[in-house]
Structure 1
Amino acid sequence: MERPAAAYSKGKLTSAIEDFSALSFPGQES
């Protein structure tokens, strides 16, 4: 099981990637 800090960082990174993707490819978010 991951350490809480690692899981939190991964979650933040994933959110950032999703936000970037939504901005870069408007209308493509799923």
Structure 2
Amino acid sequence: MAVKRTGQPSFVEALMPKGAGANAALDRLAG
């Protein structure tokens, strides 16, 4: 999962619920 890339899963969880939405958000943040 891309969440492990940031190293802060809680950050993603705070933005949006787990699922495709969170994955897409991380993809944009990770660049």
Tell me whether the two structures share a fold, i.e. TM-score over 0.5: no
**Structure with bigger RCO (C-alpha 8 Å, 6+ apart):** 2
- Provide the TM-score with structure 2 as the length reference: 0.41
TM-score by length of 1: 0.43
